[in-house]
């Protein structure tokens, strides 16, 4: 969130992942102030999330392509000027289809949207990372396997995959799917699934298979902590240290579930 910029900088994170919809909604003067502030702080914004707001539907009978396109083009322009090269497309409420609507039809709407979105993103040097969400947050694209189906159906090099450990665990999906998806994994979100809090210690959860899969595919892009903290300034450095350790093939074994 924009309100967390100072805290993220002082905690020692390499970058901040801001909300796309929040940036897009800013009045022009406030957007300019934000851009100047980030530049002054030397705080990069390579990734943004929360792409499509709930009131701009991606599926269902009330989809408005003209409104989609107007919003998306403004959003892409704004975040690209901040230096973002990745936008995570979770947006559960926007992509959830209503009861009585065909899931196959909703899936095709997402495919068509991504086919249009890919070239728009590419023009601005941005890759869209599709984020599978747990069933409580969306009724479509709930697993990495389903995310892969969407990406392959869209068939655009700028439509890739976001792997969120929290959602992976909530849906009880085997981390080995990451190896199968190796050519499409573009971004990673991380949290301790027990409370969706900052990951702090290697032995607090069974992180091993997840990071082993990331190391196996040679993942070398950004990993963002998407979680809540009880004490941000204390826990942030711990989370940073844990993630760096985890990507260096830690010798410590994870506890059994």
**Would you kindly state where each structural domain of the chain is located, as residue ranges?**
2-246
Q: pLDDT digit string (tens) for 30-55?
A: 999 999 999 999 999 999 999 999 99
CB contact at 8 A, 160 and 186: yes
- Flag whether pLDDT at 157 surpasses 60: yes
d(CA 86, CA 162): 10
Q: How far apart are CA 186 and CA 139, in angstroms?
A: 23
DSSP assigned state of 228: B
Whole-number pLDDT of residue 3: 78
Range scoring the smallest mean pLDDT among 111-115, 179-183, 250-254? 250-254
Radius of gyration for the chain, computed over Cα atoms and rounded to the nearest angstrom: 18
Phi, psi of 200 (to 5 degrees): -120, -35
- Across the range 185-207, mean pLDDT stands at 97
- Please determine, for residue 251, whether its predicted confidence score (pLDDT) is greater than 70: no
User: How does pLDDT run across 203-215, given as a tens digit for each residue?
Assistant: 999 999 999 999 9
Q: Could you read off the pLDDT of 48-77 as tens digits, one per residue? A: 999 999 999 999 999 999 999 999 999 999
Interhelix angle 144-154/103-123, nearest 10 degrees:
60
**Bridge partners of residue 19, in order along the sequence:** 49
User: Rounded to whole angstroms, how far apart are CA atoms 202 and 191?
Assistant: 12
Mean pLDDT value of segment 243-252: 76
pLDDT(95) > 60: yes
Which residue, among 204, 226, 253, has the nearest Cα to 129 in the 3D structure? 226
Cα–Cα distance for residue pair 243/192, rounded to 1 Å: 12
Instruction: Please name which of 78, 63, 61, 95 lies closest in space to residue 22, comparing C-alpha atoms.
Output: 78
Taking the domain 2-246, which CATH number applies? 3.20.20.150
In percent, the amount of the chain with pLDDT more than 70 equals: 96
Helix residue spans in 99-246 (DSSP H) = 103-123, 144-154, 165-170, 177-180, 208-216, 232-246
Rounded Cα gap, residues 152 and 33, in angstroms: 39
Q: Which residue has the higher pLDDT, 141 or 4?
A: 141
| Residue 2 binned pLDDT confidence (cut-offs 50, 70, 90) | confident
Q: What pLDDT does 1 receive?
A: 66
Rounded CA-CA distance 239/121 in Å is 31
pLDDT of residue 256: 47
Q: Taking residues 87-104, what's their average pLDDT?
A: 98
User: What mean pLDDT comes out for the span 9-19?
Assistant: 94
Instruction: State what percent of residues in the chain have pLDDT above 90.
Output: 93
Give residue 254's pLDDT.
47
Between CA 31 and CA 13 the distance in angstroms is 22
**Which segments within the chain are labelled E, that is strand?**
17-19, 47-49, 86-89, 127-130, 159-164, 185-190, 223-225
Q: Is 19 left (phi over 0), alpha (psi -120 to 50) or beta?
A: beta
Q: What's the CA gap between 144 and 163, in Å, rounded? A: 7
Main-chain phi, psi angles of 110, to 5 degrees: -65, -40
pTM for the whole thing?
A: 0.94
**pLDDT of 78 above 90:** yes
**Residue 94 pLDDT > 90:** yes
């Amino acid at each position: 969130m924009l309100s967390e910029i100072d805290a993220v900088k002082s905690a020692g994170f390499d970058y901040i992942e801001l909300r796309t919809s929040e940036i897009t909604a800013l009045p022009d003067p406030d957007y300019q102030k934000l851009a100047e502030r980030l530049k002054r702080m030397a705080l990069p914004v390579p990734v943004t999330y929360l792409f499509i707001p709930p009131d701009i539907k991606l599926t269902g009978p009330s989809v408005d392509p003209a409104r989609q396109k107007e919003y998306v083009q403004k959003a892409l322009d704004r975040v690209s000027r901040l230096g973002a090269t990745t936008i995570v497309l979770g947006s559960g409420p926007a992509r959830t289809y209503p009861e009585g609507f065909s899931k196959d039809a909703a899936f095709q709407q997402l495919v068509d949207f991504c086919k249009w979105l890919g070239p728009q993103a590419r023009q601005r040097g941005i890759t869209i990372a599709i984020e599978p969400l747990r069933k409580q947050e969306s009724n479509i694209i709930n697993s990495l396997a389903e995310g892969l189906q969407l990406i392959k159906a869209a068939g655009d090099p700028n439509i890739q995959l976001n792997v969120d450990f929290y959602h992976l665990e909530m849906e009880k999906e085997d981390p080995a799917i990451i190896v199968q998806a190796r050519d499409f994994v573009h971004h990673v979100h991380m949290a301790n699934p027990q409370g969706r809090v900052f990951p702090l210690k290697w032995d607090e959860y069974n992180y091993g298979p997840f990071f082993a899969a990331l190391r196996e595919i040679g993942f070398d892009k950004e990993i963002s902590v998407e979680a809540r903290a009880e004490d941000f300034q204390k826990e942030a450095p711990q989370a940073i240290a844990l993630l760096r350790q985890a990507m260096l093939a830690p010798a410590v074994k994870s506890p059994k579930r």
